[in-house]
Amino acid sequence: MFRRGDDERHETIQAHEVATPSEAASQGSGAGASEVTIVGQGARLDGTLVSAGSLRIDGQVKGKIKAEGDVTLSSQSRVEADIEAQNVVVAGQFKGNIVATSKAELARGGRVEGNVTAKSLVVAEGAVFSGQSIMGDGASSPAAPTKPAATTAERAPEPAKAGA
């Protein structure tokens, strides 16, 4: 019925929320963080992806991602979303904002276009980061990007004009 390599096997999922099976069964009773939900390489998801555990994305996601555990974007992934998680690792192509309560990592070959908020940020050699980063202890709460502080040259008063 279905053959490997068949171009028609890509599946599009329209969703408001997608939960792991244990999350749906437990109704938020604290599923273990050791569980990993995988969005496979041939899958494409549009909507909000919510997980009580960790996520690994090999396919395409567009929308919003929220995980109580970690989120890993493999080198094959193409993601356009906002991500909230404990730790986030990007090895594929990502466009959007990342809020990690602990660490955000841009792995070799990973491309991030957007803002990253995390306690620590690791950018490996060969990764590309285009955006702003907010790091440190205050980074655990999502904050709106602020206007960069003026440089010393912008704050210096103008010199007095001769003859004035």
Residue-wise pLDDT for 78-91, tens only, equals 999 999 999 999 99
Beta bridge partners of 64: 48, 82
pTM of the shown model: 0.67
Q: Please report, for the chain, the start and end positions of each structural domain, with discontinuous segments joined by +.
A: 41-135
pLDDT value of residue 161:
53
Per-residue pLDDT tens for 97-109? 999 999 999 999 9
Place of tokens 């053959």: 3
The C-alpha angle 68, 98, 48, rounded to 5 degrees, equals: 60
* Integer CA distances (angstroms), 17 to 33, 34, 57, in order: 19, 21, 16
CA distance 12 to 41: 12
CA distance 129 to 92: 12
CA distance 7 to 42: 10
